[in-house]
Amino acid sequence: MTISILSLHTYPVKSCCGITHTQVSVTPGGLAHDRQWVVADEHGVFLSQRSQPRMALVQPALDETALFLNAPEMPTLRVSLRKGETAADATPLSIGHSVTLGLDEGDTAAHWFSDYLGRACRLYRVHPNAHRLVAAQDVTAWRETHPEAEGFPQEHPLGFADAFPFNIVNQASLDDLNARLVAAGHPPAGLLRFRPNIVIQGLQPYEEDELCSLHVGDLTFAAVSRATRCTMINVDPATGESGVEPLATLSAYRCFEERVLFGLNAVVAGVSRGTVLSVGDRVLPVHEA
């Protein structure tokens, strides 16, 4: 079977609902507009579905001028895409173990999210002067052990994603997980619980564990690590409610050194102006030697 892209997804606001694409532009820091906004508390610490599961119900949409957000019993929030602010407007934000700069989207957006979540918070976008990078040790480790690494960039920009600009999921692995869930009497897990950017079809279940890279046209996606999974996958994107599955089932057979792994984290090389990915694009996987 031909290995190809089955679906493409972006999540403009970190931890909110995603947008599914048939075609999407690619940047060195991720798919266009992916995780370029974040909701943070009064201390500048980001909020996520782990503590605010109702964020799963915030549905984004984009046009050429604005980001639009909708949520249950809330009016539509419009956030302009215009930039041009200066460093004086930068707010330090904590994303995981790193600190970056955010651009405050103003009181209207802050009131909207505060009202919806029932706590004080504000909406920020990636500041033009932010310089957050994928951890050097992760890229270095890949470059030192793979023959393809010659000429592969060391530095990779990062918006508000946890640690990597691309998350890749193998549909066959999800099918296997869902077969286990159904056999145990649980409903299957929807794809968007895992918040992938790129979903691949044509691989065997968990064959992605053996990959060092994937090529799509002129693009090389370096599989710098396998993706760790936490309780966030237990939040149902349709209801915003949290349970114990599918993490409990996944933990029973995908726990490695006390970490539950599912999918790949990746960085990219070969991006040029106008580069796009499309559903159906052929994928050439390169296995570990």
Residue 258: its pLDDT value, please?
Answer: 76
Residue 73: its pLDDT value, please?
Answer: 96
Helices marked H in the chain: 107-117, 136-145, 171-183, 247-253
**Which has the minimum average pLDDT: 51-60, 77-86, 213-222, 223-232?**
77-86
DSSP for residue 271? -
Residue 149: its pLDDT value, please?
Answer: 77
pLDDT band for position 172 (cuts 50, 70, 90): very high
Over 249-265, what HEC string results?
HHHHHCEECCEEEEEEE
Residue 84: its pLDDT value, please?
Answer: 57
Residue 151: its pLDDT value, please?
Answer: 84
| pLDDT of 100 strictly over 90 | yes
Residue found by looking up tokens 């405050």 in the block = 104
Domain span holding position 140: 4-287
DSSP for residue 116? H
Please give the tally of structural domains in the chain: 1
Tokens (6 digits) for 207: 């064959």
Residue-wise pLDDT tens digits, 35-84: 999 999 999 999 999 999 999 999 999 999 999 999 999 999 999 998 75
Sort strands 30-31 and 37-40 into parallel, antiparallel or unpaired.
Answer: unpaired
Residue-wise pLDDT tens digits, 115-161: 999 999 999 999 999 999 999 999 999 999 887 778 899 999 999 99
CB burial class (10 A; 0-12, 13-18, 19+) of residue 105?
Answer: buried
CA trace torsion 140, 9, 200, 165 (10° rounding): 0
Residue type, 146: H
What percentage of the chain has pLDDT greater than the value 90? 92
pLDDT band for position 88 (cuts 50, 70, 90): low
